[in-house]
Amino acid sequence: MNELVFTCLLLLPGAHLFGQTPPVKAPAAEATSFRHEICTAVVEKVFRVEDDGFVFNAYQVTWRGRAVIVEDAIHRTDAAEGDKIRLLVLWNDMSERKPGMKLLHFSVL
Indicate the average pLDDT of the chain. Answer: 82
Q: Is the pLDDT of residue 26 over 80?
A: no
Q: Is the pLDDT of residue 6 over 50?
A: no
What is the CATH code of the structural domain delimited by 25-108? Answer: 2.40.50
Residue 29 confidence (pLDDT):
53
Q: What is the 3-state secondary structure (H, E, C) of the chain?
A: CHHHHHHHHHHHHHHHHHCCCCCCCCCCCCCCEEEEEEEEEECCEEEEEEECCEEEEEEEEEECCEEEEEECCCCCCCCCCCCEEEEEEEEEECCCCCCCCEEEEEEEC
Residue 46 confidence (pLDDT):
98
Average pLDDT on 96-105 reads: 88
